[in-house]
Structures are given as C-alpha cells and as structure tokens.
Structure 1
Amino acid sequence: MPATARTASLPWSLLLLDPQKLLFSLSSFIAAAITLAIAFEFSLPRPWWALLTVYVTAQPMAGAFRPKMLYRLGGILTGATVSILVVPNLQHAPELLVLCMAAWTGLCIYLAVLDRTPRAFLFQMAAFSSAVISFPYLDDPADVFTTTISRVEEMTVAIVSVSFVHGLLQPWSVTPVIHGRASSFLAHASRWTREALAQRHTRLEYEHRRTLAADVTELGMMAIHLPSDQRPASAGRRMVLGVQKQLATILPLASAAANRLDMLSALAPLDPELARLVEDTRAWLAKPAELQYATGHELAIRCRKLAERKEQPLFWRDLLRSSLCVRMAEFIEAQVEACRLVQQLGSTPASQPKMKQSRERDKSFPLARDHGLAMLAGLATATAIMLYCTVWILLAWPNGSATAAFAALITCSFATQDDPAPVLGRYLGATLLTFPLAAFYLFAVLPRVDGCAMLIVTLAPALLAIGYIQAIPALSARALPMFSCLIVALGFLDRFIADFATFINVGLAQVGGIIATIAVAKLFRSVNVSWTAKRMIRGNWIEIGQMASMARPFRPAHWTSMAVDRLGQTAARMAVAEGSDALHAADGLADLRIGRNVIAIRRSLSTVPTPIQAALRDVLEGIAGLFQSRGRQGELLPPPASLLTSIDKAIGAMCVAEQAEPSHPALLALVGMRCNLFPTAHAPRIAGDA
C-alpha cells in the first residue's frame, strides 16, 4: 500500500472502536477506580502515585501478556530495601549518597538490559522505586522509612489491582497469540522460499527474510509467559520451544537451498528431473500448512534420492546438485515438523495428538547478551542521575528533587533504546499537550466534585480515552506521558488543594525532568544504530571463529539459536540504517550457514580417514583465522585465497576417497562454505573435472 493511502486511511481506522482495545481501557479504568477507593479508604499519603502505577503497569504492548506481578513486587521491595539501608546512613554526606544511588540505579539498568526476559521487570522496578522513594528526600531523610512503607503500599495496591482486574476481564490465553505468530512465520517463510527457488529474490526480499529472525526470537519470549497463563494452556513451554527450534532451522536451510540453486543455474540449465523437483517444491510451498504436512514426506524422499545419485566421475555441478537436494530435503522436513507442531498449538488440549517425547532437556531458547551494550546503558543512566542531582543541589531549586525523580524515572524507562532522544521528544510533546486538560480538571471540574465515587465518575472520560490510546500500538508511547502529566498535576491527596503556584511548579518539574533527560540522552545515549548492529555482527564473527578453532571447546548445541537471536536484533536496526552503509554488506544468513557448516565438519572429523581429517582441520583453521580477524577489526574482510585452496583440496580429497558419497555431511559442508565465501570463484578442479 502506498504511503499516501496508509496516511489517508489512518484517521478513519482510529474512529472505529476496537472491542478488545476498549475492553483493555475499561479494565485499566476499573483497576484505577479500585486503587483510588482503597487509597482514600485507608488514607494512603499519595493516592496519585498509586493511580499512576496502575497505568505504568498496565501496558498492553509488553508482549501482549498480563503484567508480571511477582517480578514487579519483588523489584519494588528490593528498591525500597536499598533506600532504607542507604539514605539514613549517608544523610550527612549528600555527595556520597547521590553517588551510591546513581550507582545502584545504573546497576539495575545494566541487569535489566542484559537479561532480556520478564525478569527485567524486577530490575527496572528496583531502579524506579529507589529513585522515586529516595530522590525527593535526599535533603531531608528523617522520614525515609515511613515514606518508603507508604510508597510500597501504594504501588503494591496498584499492581495487585491491575493484575486482578486484567486477569478477570481479559481472560485471553497466550496460546492463540503464539499460534498466530508461528503460522504467520510459516506463511512468510513459504512465500519467500517459493520465490527464491524461482530465482526472483530481490534485495527487498533479502531484507524481509532477515526480519523473520526477529519473529523466531519473539516466539521464545512468548514461551516464557506460558506458566502465568490462567487458562489451561494447550501449548506447554517445551512445545513452544520445539516450534521455535524448528523455525530457527528453517531460516538457514531455505537460504542455503536458494544459494545453491543460484550457483547451479549459473553453470548450466537444470536437468529435467531436478527442474521438475524444484517446481514441485514450489507448488508444495503454495499449499496451506495442513496440506504441506500431509504431502511433504514424499517430496523430501524424492529430494534425498536425487541427492544420493552417484555419478562417475564427480563434477562440481554434481556436488552442487547434491547440496541443493539435501538442503531442500532438510528444509522440507523442518517445514513439515513445524507445521505439525503449529497445528498442534492451534488445537484444543483434548484433540491434540500425543506429543513426541524429546530427549533434549533444553529449558529455554538461548539469547545473545551483550555486556558492553548493557554496561553502556547502565553507565549512561548513572551519569545522568549524578548530573541531575548536581544541578539541583548547586541551584538550590526547591522543586529540584521532583525533577531528579522524574528524570530518573524517564531515563530508566528508555534505557534500552539505542537513541532515546527522538522518543523523548514525542514524550515532551504529549506532556505539553496534556497540561491544558490537567488545568481544566484542576481548576474547573474538581472544585465541584465531592466524594471518591464522584471523583471516579468525573475522571472516567479522560482516563478511558487515554487508556484506549495506550492500547493502539502506533500511539501507545504517547499515553504514558499523558497519564503522568494529568495524574501528577492533579495531585490527588486526602484533601483537595487547587493552588496555581503548585500546579506551575509541578509542571515545570515534569518538563524540566524531560528536557534534562533529552539533553543527557543526546550527550551520552545518541548511539548510531549501525554501531549497535555492528557490535552484534562482530559478536557473531567471534563466536564462529571460536567454534572453528580446534583449541577451544566444541559446544554447538546453542549456537544456531544465539545466531538467529542476533540476526533478529540486527534486523530492526538494519531497517533504519542508511542504504549505503557498509553494514548491509554483512550477510547474517551467510554467517549462519557457515556456522552450521563448521558444526557439520567438526562432527564428521571422527568418521573420515586420517588424510581427510588433516585437510578438514586446515579448512577449520582458515575459517577460525578469518572470522577472528573480522571480529577483531570489525570489518567484513575478504577471505584469503589460501582458504579457497584449502577448501578445494579438502573437496578433492573427499571426492577421490573410496566409497565417496556426494551427500556426505562434511562434503556438503565444504561445498556450502565455498559457495558462501567464494560465490564468484571458478569451479574447482576435482576428479571429474580433471
């Protein structure tokens, strides 16, 4: 759809109320009403903070799952404990106190960015709560214990209320979400592979296939939420992880088959039998997943029979044909198994076939973690907090503590962004737009309100409208600053106070905190997305080099999943990187295929004769040197001619060996390496070409 058409249709789509989004907004409002009622009934000091916690917690875009109540409560208690231990003991040394609190917040953000699972909620809430509790009382810490208990009570009431109400009124199982995402992945993978086998894959499709890796990673994140799903889940965590592993296998196999077909077609026209097999595979991929599952087994058998056909003597094109057929067979088998598992995900528990028991005891899909990026986020957060507090103390600003608290809260919220400044700019804009509404409520509406029930009814239009905005993905980032501005400016207390000076000071504190956060973000956090993506690609190169090195332990079990995860993280950044950037030259799928070829060669070492072992070790040594050099220098260095010589020597040695099989895993891996590293090299001279 053209951009103008999408822009023209957007306002009309916003006018159509989505029942599910409306139910989300209504659930959040009911939770807010319950929280306010409890806060006023038990005379909690700051009901407005409890109300704000409701809407901070109820974020539908956090994986589209229920809030992780235990993690959030654990984070609140952790942050409160740190505040009680640190603030009173360092009250006579404000500089040291600020340093300790900044270091603690930076550590929490480091762990939150590093973790990348729902446990990150615990670390984020620990940073939030310690900042909100401590900073307003750094200049007067005498009542910090009482204040801490009050903040914990307010946040606990809010989190329990929103978890209960959303769980009661939105009893949607996570399983349909997982089933839908996995089905979408299979459909997209089938479409791309069908076009790739027709040799119509373009650069745009190349970028599209990389984004499929992000879906694989997100599927694993969804699986983590399964234990908290209220309904009897038709998909256990082990089943979802099984689907994820199959989808992760599909990606490199499909790209490998397309790569071999390109190279084979460049040498000569396909022979009739192979051409017919490719067309049948494309026709099979056009079928629905149910029919793919029913008819894929016979197609895979045809591929393997053609791959095992021996020709005497062997030519390079015979090796390419065998490699193509084997990769097509492996892709078809992985697609069939994925279709079976996805179909099982969508069925009811009673109608599900008994799942095959796997001997694998993997409990999770390994995630690639970058300590450097996490450390940068934590260090930037700690530095920003120290700067806020320094300016506040030097200027002796009465509302500086509130500004520091807001700034710390916003900094922690956007700590995972590569460059949070643009998002913070929209955050500031939404805050400024909400101030007139807050002023209207505070000075025109609330003076005529009497009692908690009337207050809740009066707030309903604003809270329901902003809650609906929060449920719209394109606008959800603007909802939180709108809630924050409205709720904090109204300042719900046990007794209504409408003071214009206080209203202006609170507004300036919010705006000042946002502006200070934007300034710090531009100084410390405006990291180019290409820099982040290059770090991930370098990490992948280093691991390939380590895996190919015979001097290092061979642990291939989790490498593919981590490489796919890195590819998924890189995909979003590649989408916004400049087209001329050298980053686009790094083919993550080619690296993924090379890594799998390294695994195949190392596993085959013990099954080949000693002379061939020496040739294979030379290839592995060359691969290790190449990728370690790429990792050290951070550049896509061209492979040396000596590596091509080693690969051709190993291919020749395997082809002339007794009982040489064109479909031997090591031989196929060598062919794959040559195709990926030297796609434009002339055909090697082997026994059949001599």
Structure 2
Amino acid sequence: MTIDARKLLFSLSSFLAAAITLAIVFSASLPRPWWALLTVYVTAQPMAGAFRPKMLYRLAGIATGAIVTIAVVPNLQNAPELLVLCMAAWTGFCIYLAVLDRTPRAFLFQMAAFSSAVISFPYIENPADIFDTTAGRVAEMTVAILSVSMVHAVLQPWSATPVIRDRAKSFLRHARRWSVEVLSGDNGEQENAYRRALASDVTELGMIAIHLPFDQRAAPITQRRVFALQQQLANTIPLASAAANRLDVIERKHGILPELNGLLVRTMDWLGSAESRTAQVGALIDECERLARQAEDRGDWPSLLAASASIRLAQFLNAFATAQRLANRIGLPGRLKIRDGHEQSFRLARDHGVAVLAGAATAAAIILYCAVWILLAWPSGSATAAFAALITCSFAAHDDPSPMIGRYLKATLKTFPLAAFYLFVVLPRVDGYEMLMITLAPALLWMGYIQADPRRSPEALPMFSCFIVAMGFLARFQADFSAFVNTGIAQLGGIVTTLAVTRLFRTASARWTLRRVMRANWTELALLADIRRPFRPGDWTARSVDRLGQIAQRIVAAPPGDDLHAADSLADLRIGRNVIPVRKALSHVPHDLRHDLGLVLAGVADHYRDRTLLSKIVPADAALLVPIDRSIDGLHTRLLDEYCRQALRALVAMRCNLFPEAAAPVLTTGKTTLRVVQGGRA
C-alpha cells in the first residue's frame, strides 16, 4: 500500500477540525454534538481556496433556513399538513435555485433547503421549542463550518492557482491530441470523449476562478486573466473543427493544393511538438494568413475554400498559442497584458426546465416521506424525513440520481457493522473526551482519506453519515440497542424511500436531457441570427461550449441508430460563430448587400426555429443557398475592409456547414472598385 501524503494531510486536518468542534460543542452543552460532527465532514473540501466562499454561502444558507423555519413552523403548528406542504415547497424552490445556479453560490440554496428540513421536520408535531431547537442547530453547524474552514486553511492551504494551471494544461493536452486527429481527418471512437473533456475543462476553470477573490495565495493570478484564458481555450474547439471541416470539403471535391497540404503538415508537427517550440507559431500564423489572402485574391470557389481553411488554421493556432502562454504564466509574478475586448465573465448555460423538475421532485418526495411518517406514527419518522431531505438535496443536480443513491445505500450498509462495533464494544470502555478522540481516530482518518480521493469520495458521505448518526455522540454515553436499530432503520428507510421516489419522479433519461440541451442551443442560435435582437458574442460562445460538453457527455447514452447521433453540436457552434461577423458587417456594406445579408441571417434564424419547433434535426431549406451565394458573390468582387472580409469568410464557412454537398457557386470573375469616401460612396 502507498500512502498519499496530501490525502493524509487532508484527513488529519478534517480530524483535527472534528476534535475542535466536539470540544466546543461538549463544553457549550449543545444538544446534538453528532450533528456538528457530521457537518464537519459534509463541508470539508480538499482545496483551501474553495473554503472561504463556500463557508460564507453555507453560513448564509443556514441563517436563511433558520429564519424560514422560525417564521413558518409556529404559525402553522395547528395544520401539520399545510406545514409539510409549505416546507416541501420551500425546499423544492431552494433546490430549483441550486440546480439553476451551477456556481459555488448554489451551496447557499442547498444549505437553506437542508437546514430548514432537518430543523423543522422533527418538530412538526411539537413546535413549542422550535426557537431553542433552531438556535441549537444553527450554533452546531456554525461551529463546525468555522472550525473546518480555519483548520484546513492553516494546515493545508492549497491555493486555487495550481488547480487552474493543471486544468488548463490538461485542456491543452487533450486539445493537441484531438486537433491532430480532426485535422488529419481521423475522427475515431474517442471523438465524444475528447469533446467532453475539453468542454468540461473550460467550464471547470470558471468554477474555480470564482474562488480567486477569497484565495490570498493567488496574488499573481486574477479572475480576469483566468477568464481570458477560458475564452481562448473555448475558441480553440470550434476553430479547429472549422478548419477540419473546410479541409474535408476541399479534399472531397477539389483536392488539397500542395501549398495548403504542406501548411497542414507543419501545423500538425507543431501541435505534436514540445511546449518549448511554441516560438515557431508566429511564422505559421503569418504563412496561413498570407496563403488566405492570396487565395481570396484569386476569387474562384476552390480558392475561397482554401482561404477559409487557412484563416481558420491561423485563428486556431493564435488561440491555442495565446492559451498556452496564459497557462504557462499562471502563478508567476508580473503583469500580463490582456486585451480589453475580453469578457469579464464566462456565462454558463442554464436550463430552467431541468431545475424545475429537480425542485418539483424534491418537494413531491418530501411530501411523500412526511405522509408515510405521519400516517404510520413512526417514532423515528422525523429522522427518515431528514435523511431523505439530505440525500435528495445532495443528488438533485443529476439527470437520474438513482444510481448514486444506490451506491449511497451500499456504502451505508457496509458501515453499519463498524458503527455497531464502536457503539457496543469500544465506546463502553472509553472515559473522557481525550480517549474518545483517540479511539475515533482510526475510523475517521480512514474515512477522511477516502473523502480526499476523487474516485472514492462519493462513498465518504454515507459512511460518515451512518457512522456518526448511528452512535449518537451525545454528552453522556448511551448504548441502547433498540435505539440503534431504530435509527439504522430510519436511515435505511430514508435512503430506500428516496431511491423509490427518485425512480418515480426523476427517471429522466440522458436522451431526454440531451434533447432539451440541443433545443436550448437551437433557440439561442435563432436569437443570435435575429437582427432585431441585441447580441453578446462572448456570452453566447461560453454557453455553447458549456452545452457542447453536456451534449458530448450524454450522447454516448443514446442507442445506436438514434437520430441524435446525427446532431453535430460543433457544426452548430461553428454556424453561430459565423453569424457573428455577418451581423457585425451589416453597417459596413452597401444597401443591396445589406439586404442579402439580412436574408441570410433571417434564413438561419428560421432554420433553427424549425429545429426547435419540431424538436428534431432537419436540413436547411435549399432556398437559403440563394442569398448566401449572392452575398458571397457581392462581397468577393469588391475591395474589402476588415468587416467585409470577415463576413465573406463567415459566409463561405456557413455554406460549407449548412450545405456541404451543394455544387460550387457561380461567382463573378474580377473585382470592381468600391471605396468609401466622405459624403457618399464611389
């Protein structure tokens, strides 16, 4: 066996925080020491930088849940059915906000839901002492959260900076392999795995960046630098895919020119080289841009395709090299110049429908738990409701939480013998606080070590829950076998009931969720192409990359032959990025061209509205090809400013994505002169 020092330090830190928490709780004679001890391990996180924001959010959530409990329970004490309905609705609403938020702020809503549930349900039938009970629960949880945050910050103050650096370099490694494969035309079985890993790395960077204002050791790195890195990483995915798409069209219909083929070979060689050779990328980018301009000057369709491939290669290399430079500078002193054009945040895609489903399922489950408990007059029914609320809140964000709850049940069953051994064999021979902590050390350190392992951490929460709750940890030792069995049955009942309710209410398949994500993507694409709507390209790109990861993660669950496999989320992402320069060019072209470009955008918007309405993949209307070809012809015959040049490149790319099998357009030969002069056009 090998012992990981970092995981062991994490476990020791958690154990020390648990010891401090129990000492304070015992000294203050708080009524539920076991609840404070469990809160220590529920809130422990391996990264210290993540403690401070989560600590604040959790404390705010506990306070919010306590306020709601005190406001609702005494006023509805004579109507337990209405009280259960109100608390279930409140818990469901909090879970809705937590699933919708998808940032560390979600801990506020989770703790508000959970704290109100565990405080109120045990006292639904006897709410006379609700204020004292609420104060005790808040004090216990507050002591635990403060203890674990301070101890971990002192003993293992691991900064967010190396985590961000490792995540960025992980992305770059995946991007290198994936880019070489797609540029060489070898899209193998790992395609979805690479997409999922790339999009996941980009999204997680933003999650970690939220912690930076709370991380004093992250002085050399700022949120703005991370967001700039995040945007560059997000840009590499559609740009590499776009270049590969153009190369595929050229190879199938016209054959790749030797000059372009040589450029492609040098690009793949650079991608396969070590990071020390990144200085060569400037020459590659210049060569790509030179080849693109030469091809555009020739003006025929194969040349425009070659120009599109070349410029996408240049943009990809620039984004990749910039991301690599930013990643290498993370954690190093000194300022790094970042363009003002970068967005100040990275917007995540949010799905109100999935969040509503999670909240409604949580509320319905809690109502069912309480109905069974009250009708059966079960003495430990309140514990069942509390455990059910804990489990439901913990796994609310999953498409189908039942597999996770099943593993939770198995881990609980495995821990019961250990809890019984401690309660009936070890603890009767323990006298005093010091001996209690010494005897608990082996079990808690072992579970804490499991919690520090990302692969096994889901097992830790049920193990801690079973072990701590089953033993009680009251101020005076009590070894009551009937109480132990009753508590164990209550825990298992809460888990089994949660599993049953989850299978009834939350059996949303990955295929169903996948369709929702795709429809949301199509809806935003239609809005992006609608010239009547304002648009923020950075926000749209961020949400699309986020959805790209969600689609890649779920599409593997679609059965073979399903029409969802025909969906190319990267093609949608490429089309959206091509809409952006066309919209920007509208105010820089003559009226006739502006009309044609407007028809193109309207056709794209209608195409994605049709997909959203029918909830399936439909090909673009062939009539859209006419304004696209007319716009390409109108732009390529003029002397182009930068906006028009970008629009021409976008239209060529859009035609390849929407109509890959269409015949080459008939273009006017030769260029006319169009110069913008003051007071009119000449």
Question: Taking structure 1 as the reference length, what is the TM-score of the superposition?
Answer: 0.94
1:589-642 deviation digits (Å, cap 9, x = unpaired): 111110011111111112222222221111111101000111122111111111
1:276-304 deviation digits (Å, cap 9, x = unpaired): 21111112212233422x22122111111
Bigger shift: 483-492 or 191-200?
Answer: 191-200
Q: Which residue of structure 2 lines up, in the alignment, with residue 94 of structure 1?
A: 80
Quick one: structure 1 residues 450 and 639, their matched pair in 2 at CA, closer, same or farther if it must change by over 3 Å?
Answer: same
Q: Structure 2 residue aligned with 1:108, among 94, 108, 112?
A: 94
Q: Structure 2 residue aligned with 1:682, among 631, 647, 663?
A: 663
1:55 is the counterpart of 2:41 = yes
Equivalent residue of 1:551, what SS? coil
Bigger shift: 521-530 or 660-669?
Answer: 660-669
1:331-355 deviation digits (Å, cap 9, x = unpaired): 11112211221111142x2xx3x32
Q: Which residue of structure 2 lines up, in the alignment, with residue 230 of structure 1?
A: 216
Distance 1:371 1:100 in 2: 22
Give the conservation status (yes or no) of the 8 Å contact 1:601–1:666. yes
Quick one: structure 1 residues 233 and 61, their matched pair in 2 at CA, closer, same or farther if it must change by over 3 Å?
Answer: closer
Counting only pairs closer than 5 Å after superposition, residues 656-675 of structure 1 correspond to structure 2 as: 656-657=637-638, 664-675=645-656
Quick one: structure 1 residues 313 and 239, their matched pair in 2 at CA, closer, same or farther if it must change by over 3 Å?
Answer: closer
Q: Which residue of structure 2 lines up, in the alignment, with residue 328 of structure 1?
A: 313
1:124 is the counterpart of 2:105 = no
Give the conservation status (yes or no) of the 8 Å contact 2:228–2:343. no
Identity of aligned residues (%): 61
Shift, 1:431, TM fit: 0.8
Shift, 1:651, TM fit: 1.9
Bigger shift: 236-245 or 189-198?
Answer: 189-198
The residue identity in structure 1 corresponding to 2:400 is D
Counting only pairs closer than 5 Å after superposition, residues 172-183 of structure 1 correspond to structure 2 as: 172-183=158-169
The residue identity in structure 2 corresponding to 1:435 is F
Quick one: structure 1 residues 113 and 282, their matched pair in 2 at CA, closer, same or farther if it must change by over 3 Å?
Answer: same
Equivalent residue of 2:130, what SS? helix
Distance 1:544 1:627 in 2: 7
Distance 1:500 1:662 in 2: 78
Distance 1:444 1:159 in 2: 31
Shift, 1:86, TM fit: 0.7
Quick one: structure 1 residues 61 and 640, their matched pair in 2 at CA, closer, same or farther if it must change by over 3 Å?
Answer: farther
Q: Which residue of structure 1 lines up, in the alignment, with residue 510 of structure 2?
A: 529
The residue identity in structure 2 corresponding to 1:341 is L
Distance 2:82 2:21 in 1: 37
Quick one: structure 1 residues 250 and 178, their matched pair in 2 at CA, closer, same or farther if it must change by over 3 Å?
Answer: same
Q: Structure 2 residue aligned with 1:77, among 63, 77, 83?
A: 63
The residue identity in structure 1 corresponding to 2:8 is L
Distance 1:622 1:385 in 2: 48
The residue identity in structure 2 corresponding to 1:156 is T
Equivalent residue of 1:231, what SS? helix
Shift, 1:255, TM fit: 0.7
Bigger shift: 184-193 or 415-424?
Answer: 184-193
Give the conservation status (yes or no) of the 8 Å contact 2:229–2:326. yes
Q: Which residue of structure 1 lines up, in the alignment, with residue 523 of structure 2?
A: 542
The residue identity in structure 2 corresponding to 1:645 is V
Q: Which residue of structure 2 lines up, in the alignment, with residue 339 of structure 1?
A: 324
Distance 1:461 1:18 in 2: 16
Would you say how many aligned residue pairs link Structure 1 and Structure 2?
A: 670
Distance 1:56 1:93 in 2: 33
1:41-95 deviation digits (Å, cap 9, x = unpaired): 1111111110000111114499976672111111111101111111111101111
Quick one: structure 1 residues 488 and 18, their matched pair in 2 at CA, closer, same or farther if it must change by over 3 Å?
Answer: same
Equivalent residue of 2:294, what SS? coil
The residue identity in structure 1 corresponding to 2:14 is S
Distance 1:432 1:203 in 2: 38
Distance 1:673 1:659 in 2: 19
Q: Structure 2 residue aligned with 1:148, among 134, 139, 162?
A: 134
Q: Which residue of structure 2 lines up, in the alignment, with residue 450 of structure 1?
A: 431
Distance 2:49 2:258 in 1: 48
Give the conservation status (yes or no) of the 8 Å contact 2:593–2:634. yes
Q: Structure 1 residue aligned with 2:280, among 292, 295, 318?
A: 295
Shift, 1:259, TM fit: 0.8
Distance 1:434 1:206 in 2: 37
Give the conservation status (yes or no) of the 8 Å contact 1:594–1:673. yes
Distance 2:42 2:196 in 1: 33
Quick one: structure 1 residues 206 and 671, their matched pair in 2 at CA, closer, same or farther if it must change by over 3 Å?
Answer: farther
User: Structure 1: where are the runs of 5+ without partners?
Assistant: 1-14
Shift, 1:551, TM fit: 2.6
User: Structure 2: where are the runs of 5+ without partners?
Assistant: 671-682
Equivalent residue of 2:537, what SS? coil
Q: Which residue of structure 2 lines up, in the alignment, with residue 433 of structure 1?
A: 414
The residue identity in structure 2 corresponding to 1:92 is N
Quick one: structure 1 residues 661 and 240, their matched pair in 2 at CA, closer, same or farther if it must change by over 3 Å?
Answer: closer
Q: Structure 1 residue aligned with 2:450, among 469, 489, 501?
A: 469
Q: Which residue of structure 2 lines up, in the alignment, with residue 239 of structure 1?
A: 225
The residue identity in structure 2 corresponding to 1:326 is I
Distance 1:313 1:339 in 2: 35
Give the conservation status (yes or no) of the 8 Å contact 1:51–1:487. yes
The residue identity in structure 1 corresponding to 2:94 is C
Quick one: structure 1 residues 672 and 126, their matched pair in 2 at CA, closer, same or farther if it must change by over 3 Å?
Answer: same
The residue identity in structure 2 corresponding to 1:478 is E
1:551-593 deviation digits (Å, cap 9, x = unpaired): 3233334111111111123332234443433222211111111
Quick one: structure 1 residues 145 and 661, their matched pair in 2 at CA, closer, same or farther if it must change by over 3 Å?
Answer: closer
Q: Which residue of structure 2 lines up, in the alignment, with residue 6 of structure 1?
A: none
Quick one: structure 1 residues 374 and 281, their matched pair in 2 at CA, closer, same or farther if it must change by over 3 Å?
Answer: same
Equivalent residue of 2:319, what SS? helix
Distance 2:192 2:466 in 1: 44
Counting only pairs closer than 5 Å after superposition, residues 184-263 of structure 1 correspond to structure 2 as: 184-263=170-249
Q: Which residue of structure 2 lines up, in the alignment, with residue 400 of structure 1?
A: 381
Distance 2:327 2:159 in 1: 16
The residue identity in structure 2 corresponding to 1:50 is A
Give the conservation status (yes or no) of the 8 Å contact 1:214–1:571. no
Distance 1:553 1:464 in 2: 55
Quick one: structure 1 residues 232 and 645, their matched pair in 2 at CA, closer, same or farther if it must change by over 3 Å?
Answer: closer
Distance 2:631 2:72 in 1: 64
Bigger shift: 357-366 or 677-686?
Answer: 357-366
Give the conservation status (yes or no) of the 8 Å contact 2:635–2:644. no
Bigger shift: 120-129 or 224-233?
Answer: 224-233
Q: Which residue of structure 2 lines up, in the alignment, with residue 139 of structure 1?
A: 125
Equivalent residue of 1:397, what SS? coil
Q: Which residue of structure 2 lines up, in the alignment, with residue 654 of structure 1?
A: 635
Q: CA RMSD, aligned part only?
A: 2.0
1:508 is the counterpart of 2:489 = yes
Distance 1:655 1:409 in 2: 63
Q: Which residue of structure 2 lines up, in the alignment, with residue 376 of structure 1?
A: 357
Question: Taking structure 2 as the reference length, what is the TM-score of the superposition?
Answer: 0.95
Distance 1:208 1:41 in 2: 54
Q: Which residue of structure 1 lines up, in the alignment, with residue 598 of structure 2?
A: 617
Distance 1:275 1:575 in 2: 33
Quick one: structure 1 residues 360 and 686, their matched pair in 2 at CA, closer, same or farther if it must change by over 3 Å?
Answer: closer
The residue identity in structure 2 corresponding to 1:623 is V
Shift, 1:215, TM fit: 1.0
Give the conservation status (yes or no) of the 8 Å contact 1:253–1:327. yes
Distance 1:479 1:77 in 2: 26
Bigger shift: 361-370 or 379-388?
Answer: 361-370
Q: Which residue of structure 2 lines up, in the alignment, with residue 269 of structure 1?
A: 255
Distance 1:342 1:173 in 2: 16
Distance 1:421 1:390 in 2: 22
Distance 1:264 1:617 in 2: 28
Quick one: structure 1 residues 43 and 653, their matched pair in 2 at CA, closer, same or farther if it must change by over 3 Å?
Answer: same
